[in-house]
Amino acid sequence: MLSCYLTRKGLAERAVLDSSSNELAASILTPLTEPQRDRLVTAMADVERLILASQVRVEIIDPRDIDARYCLRSYFEELGHRFDTGFDPAQSISASDEEMTLPNGLLLVANLLGAAVGCGALKLHIDRQIAEVKRMWVASDVRGLGLGRRLLERLSAEAASRGMVILRLETNRSLSEAKHLYERAGFVEVEPFNNEPYAHHWFQKDLRHE
């Protein structure tokens, strides 16, 4: 691994830049009241999050791709930690590589600055015009950027563009934030439509109303 070090001149220049930055920050904050400073800091954090969110790219990729494998492995690991009973993919309803490859389905992967940070898949039942959302996952360190909503909206659009009428999904009671996401996205809780052993809530959405 290559190591880099600043020269004495470089260290001195960095010290000058740091000092100038501190002076600028002080000149901005000093005239403000404490509540105003808090508002400014919050606003700056919001701007930083929005800029970061704008750098996320979402693409359909082969589920055998290295980024896809990383996301799916991370998804399984998180469910294993969060579910009361753990999680065994072999016991869950399948979403195989073939089922996540067109024309049978697709896999979206979100990439931020070269790193895979989220995924979501569709299984397409073309004969019934029904699509299922599977493998929804967002890395913990990028939550709060609206990526879950963005993935879900893209999956809805992909399903509708392929002639699907109904979009379905199920979730576990441990994933309360996912349940809220689906409700905000217009999904309606319905009676169970499959025998997924890890599910406690089943949702669907009519894509004709999009």
Beta strands (DSSP E) in the chain are: 56-60, 105-112, 115-125, 130-138, 166-171, 188-190, 201-206
Alpha carbons 185 and 191: distance in angstroms, whole number: 18
pLDDT of residue 54: 80
One digit per residue, the tens of pLDDT, for the chain of length 210 reads 445 556 766 666 766 566 666 676 667 777 878 888 777 677 776 767 777 768 889 999 999 999 999 999 999 999 999 999 999 999 999 999 999 999 999 999 999 999 999 999 999 999 999 999 999 999 999 988 899 999 999 999 999 999 999 999 999 999 999 999 999 999 999 999 999 999 999 999 999 976
DSSP secondary structure, 143-206, as one string: TTSSHHHHHHHHHHHHHHHTT--EEEEEE-TT-HHHHHHHHHTT-EEES--S--TT-SEEEEEE
pLDDT of residue 24: 66
pLDDT of residue 11: 63
Alpha carbons 56 and 147: distance in angstroms, whole number: 8
Q: Which residue in 111, 198, 123 sits closest to 151, CA to CA?
A: 111
pLDDT of residue 16: 58
8 A C-beta contact, residue 133 and residue 168? yes
Annotated domain spans of the chain: 8-52, 57-209
8 A C-beta contact, residue 69 and residue 132? no
How far does Cα 55 stand from its chain's mean position?
13
Do you find a cis peptide bond into 103, omega within 30 degrees of 0? yes
Alpha carbons 19 and 17: distance in angstroms, whole number: 5
Which helix H or strand E contains 18, and what residues bound it? helix 8-29
Q: Give this prediction's pTM.
A: 0.80
pLDDT of residue 140: 93
CA atoms within 13 A on the CB side of 36: 6
Amino acid at 21: S
Instruction: Tell me the fold of 57-209.
Output: Aminopeptidase (3.40.630)
pLDDT of residue 2: 44
